[in-house]
C-alpha cells in the first residue's frame, strides 16, 4: 500500500510539473492586474516617413503632415531634379502650401538673375559679401520673402560654384507653418565639387562691340553701324525695351525706366534718368517734340523738355500719331479704340482690325497704322498695313505668303517697307505693293550672335535706330545694344 501511494504521489507531481510547463509554452491569458500596480503601455507606432532619392538630393518627410505630390511634379535626372509637394486644403482641395525644390547643374546665369529679381545686388554679393546665409540641405542659401502671383512666398536660393549647380526652393502660401521647417530639415542636397569656376561677372566681362557690316537683300545693300551706349547698358530683361527720338536726343525705356541719351551720329551718351511714377514699356514721339508714354493700367502721359505736360486716365497701351493729336489704344484683341486728345479730354471711338486675331505690336507713321500679330485666318504672324482710318491696304508676309516670326518694328521706306523680325532675327524688306523681297540674318547684317530685336525708330536722316538685347561672348551679361541701319 505504501509503495502504491508513493507512486501515485510521484505521478501527481509529474502531472503538475507538465501542466506548469505547458502553461508557460502556450502563453495563456494573463491574470488580472492587481489594484495599485502600473500597466505597461504598448510601444508608440513610428511616423509614416517617406524618402525620395535623386542623384542631386534626398528628401525624407512625414506623410502624416499632409504632403503629397503628383507624378508630373517630380522630375529626376543626373543634371536636373525637382519636385513640387503640396499640402491641400481638406475642405476644397486648394493648396495651403506649395513647396518646390529645384537643383540644377548649369551655368551661373539663372542664379545671377535670381539675385537681382529677388532684391539682391550682384556686386554686393560677389565682392563685398554683404549678405547672410541660411543653410538648407547643407547648402548656403540666401533667403528672400516676396510674393508669387499675389500669394506670399519664401525663397531660398544658392550657388554651389565648385559643383556648377544652382539651388532654388520656393515655398508659396503659409510658409511660416512648422511643417515647412520640418520638411526642409529632411532635405539633403548631394553635389560633387568638380572644381568648376563660374565665368566673369558683368563688371569683369568684356563689353559688346561690333564692326560695320553689310548684307544684300534683293538689289539693296543694307549697312549697319554699331552705336556704343556710354556707359554700356546691362539688363536682365530680354524683350521689353523701346526707343524714341526727338532731334539729337534718344529716349530709351529700359526695364520700365526712362533714360535720355545725346546722339552725335556715332554713339549714345547718357544724359539723365527721368523719374516716372510707374514703370512704362510703350513710347512714341510726335513732331511737336512731345514724348508719349503708355502702360496697361497706368495713365497715358506726355513729356516735353524734361517735364510732364499732360496725363490721361483710361487708355491701355497707346501708340500716338506723329501729329500728337490722336492715337490707338490697344491691348491684345482686334477690338481697339481710336483716341483723340482735345482740351485735356480724351474722346474715344471703336476701331477694329478684323484681319488680326491677337495683336503683338502696333505702330503708326504719317500715313499708316501697322498691326503685327497672328492672323484671324490662322495663317500665322503677319504685318497688316492699314490707312489712318483703319482700312486694310496691304498684308506683309513671308516669301510664300505664310507667317513671319514676331515683328517688333515696321516702317515705310522710300522703296517699300522694312521690318525687324525678333523671333527670326532677320531684317525683312517688301516692295511698295507688299511683294516680299528678302531678308538678312542678324549675324550677316549686325555681326551679332543671337539677339532679340526689341524695336526701332526712324532717325532724322531717314536711317533706322534698331535696339536689341545680346549676350556678351563671355556670357558675363546681357546688354541692350543699338545699331544705325541704312541702305534700304
Name the architecture of domain 49-189: 3-Layer(aba) Sandwich (3.40)
Cα-to-chain-centroid distance, residue 479: 17
Please report the DSSP string for 240-284 in residue order: -EEEEEETTEEEEEETTEEEEEEE-SS-EEEEEEE--SS---EEE
Classified by CATH at the fold level, domain 213-486 comes out as Methylamine Dehydrogenase; Chain H (2.130.10)
CB 181 within 8 A of CB 65: no
Sign of CA dihedral 134, 135, 137, 142: positive
Cα angle: 342, vertex 345, 350; to 5 degrees: 90
Secondary element (H or E) of residue 189: strand 187-189
Q: Which of 430, 370, 364, 367 is nearest to 397 (CA)?
A: 430
Q: How confident is residue 369, by pLDDT bands cut at 50, 70 and 90? A: very high
List, for residues 14-68, the tens digit of each pLDDT value: 433 333 333 333 333 333 444 443 444 444 444 578 999 999 999 999 999 999 9
Share of the chain above pLDDT 90, in %: 87
Mean pLDDT of 366-378: 98
Q: Which cell numbers in the block locate residue 137?
A: 540641405
Q: Where are the domains of the chain?
A: 49-189, 213-486
Q: Phi, psi (5° rounding) for residue 179?
A: -70, -20
User: pLDDT: is 282 or 48 the higher one?
Assistant: 282
Distance CA 220, CA 314 (A): 44
pLDDT at 93: 80
List, for residues 169-181, the tens digit of each pLDDT value: 999 999 999 999 9
Question: What is the dihedral angle through the alpha carbons of 143, 145, 146, 148, rounded to the nearest 10 degrees?
Answer: 70
DSSP SS3 for 9: helix
pLDDT at 47: 53
Write the DSSP symbol of residue 20.
Answer: H
User: pLDDT: is 4 or 442 the higher one?
Assistant: 442
pLDDT at 306: 84
- Exposure of 472 in the CB half-sphere (CA atoms within 13 A): 22
Q: How confident is residue 103, by pLDDT bands cut at 50, 70 and 90? A: very high
Strands 464-471 and 478-486, sheet pairing: antiparallel
List, for residues 428-465, the tens digit of each pLDDT value: 999 999 999 999 999 999 999 999 999 999 999 999 99
Contacts of 38 (CB under 8 A, 6+ apart): none
pTM, two decimals, is 0.84
Amino acid at each position: 500500500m505504501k509503495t502504491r501511494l508513493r507512486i501515485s504521489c510521484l505521478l501527481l507531481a509529474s502531472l503538475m510539473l507538465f501542466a506548469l510547463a505547458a502553461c508557460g509554452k502556450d502563453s495563456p491569458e494573463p491574470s488580472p492586474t492587481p489594484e495599485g500596480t502600473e500597466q505597461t503601455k504598448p510601444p508608440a507606432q513610428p511616423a509614416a516617413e517617406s524618402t525620395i532619392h535623386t542623384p542631386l538630393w534626398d528628401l525624407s518627410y512625414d506623410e502624416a503632415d499632409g504632403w503629397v505630390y503628383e507624378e508630373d511634379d517630380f522630375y529626376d535626372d543626373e543634371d536636373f531634379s525637382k519636385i513640387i509637394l503640396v499640402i491641400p486644403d481638406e475642405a476644397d482641395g486648394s493648396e495651403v502650401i506649395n513647396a518646390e525644390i529645384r537643383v540644377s547643374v548649369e551655368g551661373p546665369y539663372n542664379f545671377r538673375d535670381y539675385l537681382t529679381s529677388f532684391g539682391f545686388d550682384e556686386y554686393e554679393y560677389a565682392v563685398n559679401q554683404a549678405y547672410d546665409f541660411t543653410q538648407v540641405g547643407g547648402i548656403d542659401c540666401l533667403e528672400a520673402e516676396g510674393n508669387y502671383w499675389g500669394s506670399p512666398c519664401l525663397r531660398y536660393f544658392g550657388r554651389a560654384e565648385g559643383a556648377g549647380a544652382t539651388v532654388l526652393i520656393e515655398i508659396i502660401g503659409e510658409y511660416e507653418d512648422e511643417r515647412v521647417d520640418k520638411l526642409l530639415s529632411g532635405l539633403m542636397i548631394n553635389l560633387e565639387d568638380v572644381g568648376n569656376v563660374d565665368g566673369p561677372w558683368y563688371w569683369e566681362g568684356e563689353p559688346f562691340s561690333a564692326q560695320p557690316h553689310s548684307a544684300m537683300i534683293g538689289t539693296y545693300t543694307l549697312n549697319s553701324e554699331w552705336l556704343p551706349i556710354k556707359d554700356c547698358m546691362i539688363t536682365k530683361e530680354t524683350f521689353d525695351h523701346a526707343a524714341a527720338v526727338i532731334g539729337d536726343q534718344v529716349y530709351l525705356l529700359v526695364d520700365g525706366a526712362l533714360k535720355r541719351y545725346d546722339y552725335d551720329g556715332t554713339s549714345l551718351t547718357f544724359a539723365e534718368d527721368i523719374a516716372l511714377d510707374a514703370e512704362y514699356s510703350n513710347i512714341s514721339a510726335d513732331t511737336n517734340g512731345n514724348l508719349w508714354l503708355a502702360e496697361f493700367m497706368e495713365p497715358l502721359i506726355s513729356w516735353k523738355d524734361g517735364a510732364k505736360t499732360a496725363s490721361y486716365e483710361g487708355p491701355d497701351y497707346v501708340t500716338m500719331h506723329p501729329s500728337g493729336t490722336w492715337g490707338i489704344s490697344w491691348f491684345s484683341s482686334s477690338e481697339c479704340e481710336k483716341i483723340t486728345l482735345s482740351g485735356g479730354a480724351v474722346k474715344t471711338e471703336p476701331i477694329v482690325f478684323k484681319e488680326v486675331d491677337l495683336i503683338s505690336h502696333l505702330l503708326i507713321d504719317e500715313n499708316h497704322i501697322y498691326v503685327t500679330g497672328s492672323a484671324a485666318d490662322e495663317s500665322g504672324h503677319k504685318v497688316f498695313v492699314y490707312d489712318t482710318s483703319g482700312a486694310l491696304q496691304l498684308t506683309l508676309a513671308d516669301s510664300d505668303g505664310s507667317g513671319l516670326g514676331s515683328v517688333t518694328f515696321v516702317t515705310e521706306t522710300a522703296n517699300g517697307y522694312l521690318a525687324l523680325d525678333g523671333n527670326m532675327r532677320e531684317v525683312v524688306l517688301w516692295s511698295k505693293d507688299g511683294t516680299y523681297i528678302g531678308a538678312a540674318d542678324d549675324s550677316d547684317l549686325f555681326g551679332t550672335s543671337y539677339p532679340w530685336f526689341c524695336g526701332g525708330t526712324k532717325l532724322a536722316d531717314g536711317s533706322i535706330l534698331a535696339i536689341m538685347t545680346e549676350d556678351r561672348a563671355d556670357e558675363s551679361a546681357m546688354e541692350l545694344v543699338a545699331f544705325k541701319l541704312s541702305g534700304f
